[in-house]
Structure 1
Amino acid sequence: MNMAWIMLVVAGLLEVAWALGLKASQGFSRPLPSVLTVLAMLASFYLLAQAMRVLPVGTAYAIWVGIGAVGTVLLGILIYGDSATPLRLASLVLVLAGLVGLKLAG
């Protein structure tokens, strides 16, 4: 069970990598970022599928998406200068609270 959670977290982090990679690839027009993005996608989906062999599908998918969403927003703020309004940051806290709730309820 613990290995499934580790795979799920890594899959979520890879989701952040491929989401940022989509921007870096500039619409898949840059070869190296494009290849790295596709590899991150494949690895992320593979690890998610492996984690779902053990974890409930709804919980696993929500955690995967949540890690990806929160990580992408935070790195978008830090790397690309995306806006960091109080409402946006409070919304991230709510997403995190939901993820923690799903883990505790599981």
Structure 2
Amino acid sequence: MSLTPLLFVTGSAFIDILANMMIAKSQGFRKLRWGIAGIFLIWIAFAILSQAVKTMDIAIAYAMWGAIGVTGTALCGRLIFGNKLRPIGWAGIGLVTSAVVVLSVG
């Protein structure tokens, strides 16, 4: 597999993480500009992800995107908003990430 689809997936996932932070910042869309910006970034993230699936299996691309997104959102939520996951939550993220690695190698 070439590096290009992986860069598309990774870039798309990081944009998705940023979108999730903006949506959280919107406080349930009470701050409408943050919410609209978040939705716009999600649209961009999927547009970029669509480039990856031109040359990569969609199951692998979407699983990688999801694992990066969940992990990044949890970490950013902790750093920016002080959100705390219980150890079982981190274990779940670890299991999802491990499953993506197995899926990607297999």
Please say if 1:16 is aligned against 2:20.
Answer: no
- Give the CA deviation at 1:6: 0.2
- Give the CA deviation at 1:31: 4.3
Aligned partner letter, 2:67? G
CA contact (8 A) 1:5 1:51 kept: yes
Give the CA RMSD over aligned residues: 1.6
**Alpha-carbon separation, structure 1, partners of 2:74 and 2:32:** 25
Structure-1-length-normalised TM-score: 0.85
Partner of 1:74: 75
**Alpha-carbon separation, structure 1, partners of 2:94 and 2:39:** 29
CA contact (8 A) 1:11 1:45 kept: yes
Partner of 2:64: 63
- Give the CA deviation at 1:85: 2.3
Distance 1:31 1:86, change over 3 A: closer
**Alpha-carbon separation, structure 2, partners of 1:102 and 1:19:** 25
Identity %: 26
Please say if 1:83 is aligned against 2:73.
Answer: no
- Give the CA deviation at 1:90: 1.9
Structure 2: tracts of 5 or more residues without a match = none
**Alpha-carbon separation, structure 2, partners of 1:74 and 1:42:** 22
CA contact (8 A) 1:70 1:95 kept: no
Structure 1: tracts of 5 or more residues without a match = none
Structure-2-length-normalised TM-score: 0.85
